[in-house]
Amino acid sequence: MKWFLILWAGPILLLGSWYGLSYYDMSFGIFMLTRKAHDLVFQIYGNVLGIPPETIPPLVARAIVVDSLVVFAIIGFRRRKAIAAWWRRRHPASSEAALSRDDSLSSAP
């Protein structure tokens, strides 16, 4: 699970760092971090995809959000028993009500 999260977060952090530094032209002497490289990369992607370059960042942001939701759903599914136990400890009244409802249903004729 640890590697799953690392392999998910690593590219997002790398892309986000590059985008932020190149967008604001904080190059530190590295060409790839200049605004000129930033515009060139999005111009190339725009030409390859056949869409205007300014529409690419929102599309990437939406893809990151969807991918993140999928990753968190997988994590939640794998840890569902621990989450349910935490919920029962946190809200004992709702757990008791659910148990009494289940008992009354099971004793029905």
Tens-digit pLDDT string for the chain (109 aa): 788 889 999 999 999 999 999 999 898 999 999 999 999 999 999 999 999 999 999 999 999 999 999 999 998 898 888 888 888 888 877 656 655 655 555 555 5
Which ranges constitute the DSSP H helices of the chain? 2-23, 35-49, 56-78, 80-90, 92-106
Q: Are residues 73 and 20 in the same domain?
A: yes
- Tally the domains of the chain: 2
Q: Are residues 65 and 97 in the same domain?
A: no
Cβ-based neighbours of 49, under 8 Å, separated by 6 or more: 56
In this structure, the number of other CB atoms found within 10 A of the CB of residue 22 comes to 23
Looking at residue 30, what is its pLDDT? 92
Domain ranges, residue 63: 2-78
The angle that helices 80-90 and 92-106 make with each other, rounded to 10 degrees, is 100
Q: Are residues 36 and 6 in the same domain?
A: yes
- Taking the complete model, does pTM exceed 0.75, yes or no? no
CA distance 106 to 108: 6
Q: Are residues 89 and 74 in the same domain?
A: no
Looking at residue 107, what is its pLDDT? 53
